[in-house]
Amino acid sequence: MVVDRSTDAEVDRLFRALADATRRNIVARAAAGNMSVSALARFYPMSVTAIQKHVAVLESAGLVRKDRRGREQIVITGPASLVAAHQILGRLEAMWRERLDRFGEVLSQIPEGDRS
């Protein structure tokens, strides 16, 4: 399935990145205020290296970017990838609503006595 200009690989990367609770939390924290990788690491029971790997997955999916400020790497997020995810899910929801509507139409055509 190709959605808009996104390839299957890009969509897979996006949802794979969002499938992990730690990564979703990192995106939320970065959205609330840009933080360094080391500052983010203080919130999790894992090493800075592990957080860097999570950030790299998020960066590959386009959910965050890193900006070097001196010795620190600041994690910055923008809405573009989340908007893309929302649009993809919206299209899937619309497809299922349409199917359910058609199913309801078919059911309404069956006489009441024959519905059991």
Which domains are assigned to the chain? Answer: 8-114 (1.10.10.10)
Instruction: Let me know if 17 is exposed, middle or buried by CB neighbors in 10 A (0-12, 13-18, 19+).
Output: buried
Which amino acid would we find at residue 48? V
Using the predicted structure, report yes or no on whether residue 28 has a pLDDT greater than 90. Answer: yes
pLDDT of res. 58:
95
For the stretch 30-89, pLDDT in tens is: 999 889 999 999 999 999 999 999 999 999 999 999 999 999 999 998 778 788 888 888
pLDDT at 3: 44
Closest to 7 in 3D by CA, of 49, 48, 62, 52 = 62
Contact assessment for residue 31 and residue 77, using Cβ atoms and an 8 Å cutoff? yes
Residue 13 has pLDDT above 50, yes or no: yes
pLDDT in tens, 86-102: 888 898 899 999 999 89
